């Protein structure tokens, strides 16, 4: 089990339908899954390792003999939450059914106890062959979900059962296997993330330690639950984000513009970004010389959250706070002052949370309830906060 609960191993067998699994990778990523592709060696004849590496941003291995010191067949199996094998050829199904472990993929299948779904694709004669039928029965009796292939055009001019199913059907079946909630379908979720930068001159800025990880976890979790997500990202790497609308901004004033534009049409605003409280009064076009760089005159930034919440209609608004002392009292007064439905207060004494995958703090609700969270992953916190947003949406 991974820290996120969303690690998927996509096993790719040596069928021509392998190229269709490239789309599957993207669709899984759109839903917030972290995908690792493990092709069989023969499947590389159809789609090469570079395609999978470029799509997933992760290295591709096919054998247990690569990077032996890492014990990949055990560590990857241990870290996987779900297995999707698509396409599964007659040979791959036979190897899995007989418990073979002659490449990395079949080793992982044996070593992992994650739920597994198999998407067969082969010629009708091979699909209908008693040997394949028996192997499929064996897999089903061991708890594998084996999809019935579609009937239609096959490789060459033949037609019949054995066709690789449409991506939508695979995704639907995968969702029902994973049991992940789809309770934000039709909702618009606006998330701010990262930390704003306030330019001093063309080189220097005032910034903060926010990494954007929590905001990204929220955006991904909302997308995975079916929401139409818009992420306003302040100074963070957004290159690996798919299926989410992203506006990249630098300063608090830039963020304010996008927020004003998007707020009216959203159902939930999650203001996770660390917005600089002040900006240099003068934005210079020339770099300040070292000798005269002795002080910076500042002016206060608008409080974006306090400002936008005055225009609230039916939106649920979630804010964040980072405190080093008097967490609860400060967060309660921020909740009032900024018109929030929920606030999460991080205890950042010692800078313990910035850039990490785990957090600890307290969720405060408008009804006066406090929920203390000890050491949870940022992904888990995202799910909990979305649960509260949904409850408030009714």
Q: Residue 168's closest CA among 19, 24, 16, 18?
A: 24
The DSSP 8-state label assigned to residue 353 in this structure reads S
Answer whether 22's CB lies under 8 Å from 51's CB.
yes
Helices in 197-326 by DSSP H: which ranges? Answer: 213-224, 252-262, 304-309
Give Cα 131 to chain centroid, integer Å.
Answer: 39
Choose, by CB under 6 A, the member of 11, 15, 194, 319 that binds ligand C5P. Answer: 319
Q: Does 127 bind ligand C5P (CB under 6 A)?
A: no
Least spacing, CB of residue 176 vs ligand C5P, in Å: 35
Answer whether 143's CB lies under 8 Å from 177's CB.
no
Q: Does 271 bind ligand C5P (CB under 6 A)?
A: yes
Q: Does 353 bind ligand C5P (CB under 6 A)?
A: no
Least spacing, CB of residue 297 vs ligand C5P, in Å: 18
Sequence length of the chain is 394
Q: In 3-state terms, what secondary structure has residue 13? A: coil
Which of the residues 208, 235, 301, 346 is marked catalytic? 208
Residue with tokens 């006066």: 368
Q: Residue 234's closest CA among 281, 181, 273, 262?
A: 273
Q: In 3-state terms, what secondary structure has residue 183? A: coil
Nearer to ligand C5P, 118 or 268 (CB): 268
Tokens of 282: 């003068």
Tokens of 232: 């306003």
Q: Does 303 bind ligand C5P (CB under 6 A)?
A: yes
* Contact range with ligand C5P by CB under 6 A, out of 68-76, 96-104, 210-218, 315-323: 315-323
Q: Does 250 bind ligand C5P (CB under 6 A)?
A: no
Nearer to ligand C5P, 49 or 253 (CB): 253
For residues 36 and 149, what is the distance between their CA atoms, to the nearest angstrom? 23
Q: Does 268 bind ligand C5P (CB under 6 A)?
A: no
For residues 387 and 39, what is the distance between their CA atoms, to the nearest angstrom? 36
Q: Does 150 bind ligand C5P (CB under 6 A)?
A: no
Nearer to ligand C5P, 108 or 348 (CB): 348
Residue with tokens 């059907």: 169
Beta bridge partners, 286, equal: none
For residues 230 and 27, what is the distance between their CA atoms, to the nearest angstrom? 17
Q: Does 275 bind ligand C5P (CB under 6 A)?
A: yes
Choose, by CB under 6 A, the member of 262, 301, 359, 362 that binds ligand C5P. Answer: 301
Nearer to ligand C5P, 104 or 189 (CB): 189
The reply to whether 208 belongs to the active site is yes
Q: How many CA atoms lie within 13 A of 155 on its CB side?
A: 11
* Contact range with ligand C5P by CB under 6 A, out of 56-64, 268-276, 351-359, 375-383: 268-276
Q: Does 347 bind ligand C5P (CB under 6 A)?
A: no
Give the footprint of ligand C5P on residues 277-296 (CB under 6 A).
Answer: 277
Least spacing, CB of residue 345 vs ligand C5P, in Å: 9
Nearer to ligand C5P, 1 or 264 (CB): 264
Q: Residue 215's closest CA among 150, 154, 270, 153?
A: 270
Nearer to ligand C5P, 105 or 273 (CB): 273
Least spacing, CB of residue 357 vs ligand C5P, in Å: 20
Question: Cα torsion for 50, 55, 56, 61, to the nearest 10°?
Answer: -20
Q: Does 320 bind ligand C5P (CB under 6 A)?
A: yes
Choose, by CB under 6 A, the member of 36, 334, 378, 388 that binds ligand C5P. Answer: 334
Q: Does 321 bind ligand C5P (CB under 6 A)?
A: yes
For residues 361 and 372, what is the distance between their CA atoms, to the nearest angstrom? 6
Nearer to ligand C5P, 88 or 275 (CB): 275
Contact residues for ligand C5P, defined by CB under 6 A: 252, 271, 273, 275, 277, 301, 303-305, 319-321, 334
Indicate which residues carry an active-site annotation: 208
């Amino acid at each position: 089990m991974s820290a996120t609960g969303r690690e998927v191993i996509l096993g790719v067998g040596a069928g021509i339908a392998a190229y269709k699994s490239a789309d599957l990778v993207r669709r899984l990523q759109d839903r917030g899954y972290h995908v690792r592709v493990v092709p069989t060696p023969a499947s590389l004849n159809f789609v090469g390792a570079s395609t999978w590496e470029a799509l997933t941003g992760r290295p591709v291995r096919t054998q247990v003999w690569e990077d032996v010191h890492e014990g990949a067949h055990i560590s990857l199996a241990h870290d996987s939450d779900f297995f999707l094998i698509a396409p599964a050829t007659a040979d791959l199904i036979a190897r899995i059914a007989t418990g073979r472990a002659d490449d990395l993929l079949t080793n992982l299948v044996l070593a992992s106890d994650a739920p597994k779904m198999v998407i067969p694709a082969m010629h009708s004669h091979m699909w209908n062959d008693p040997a394949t039928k028996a192997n499929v029965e064996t897999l089903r009796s061991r708890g594998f979900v084996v999809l019935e292939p579609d009937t239609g055009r096959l490789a060459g001019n033949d037609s019949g059962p054995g066709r690789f199913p449409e991506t939508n059907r695979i995704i639907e079946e995968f969702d029902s296997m994973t049991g992940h909630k789809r309770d934000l379908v039709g909702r618009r979720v606006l998330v701010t993330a990262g930390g704003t930068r306030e330019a001093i001159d063309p080189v220097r800025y005032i910034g903060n330690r926010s990494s954007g990880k929590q905001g990204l976890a929220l955006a991904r979790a909302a997308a995975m639950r079916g929401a139409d997500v818009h992420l306003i990202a302040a100074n963070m790497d957004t290159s690996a984000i798919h299926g989410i609308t992203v506006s990249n901004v630098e300063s608090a004033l830039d963020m304010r513009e996008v927020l004003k534009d998007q707020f009216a049409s959203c159902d939930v605003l999650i203001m996770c970004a660390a917005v600089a409280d002040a900006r240099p009064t003068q934005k210079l076009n020339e770099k300040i010389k070292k000798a005269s760089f002795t002080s910076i005159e500042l002016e206060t930034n608008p409080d974006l959250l306090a400002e936008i919440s005055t225009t609230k209609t039916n939106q649920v608004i979630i804010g964040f706070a980072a405190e080093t002392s008097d967490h609860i009292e400060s967060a309660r007064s921020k909740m009032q002052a900024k018109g929030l439905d929920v606030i999460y207060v991080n205890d950042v004494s010692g800078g313990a949370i910035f850039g990490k995958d785990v957090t600890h703090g307290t969720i405060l609700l408008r009804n006066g309830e406090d929920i203390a969270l000890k050491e949870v992953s940022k992904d888990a916190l995202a799910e909990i906060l979305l649960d509260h947003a949904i409850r408030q949406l009714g």
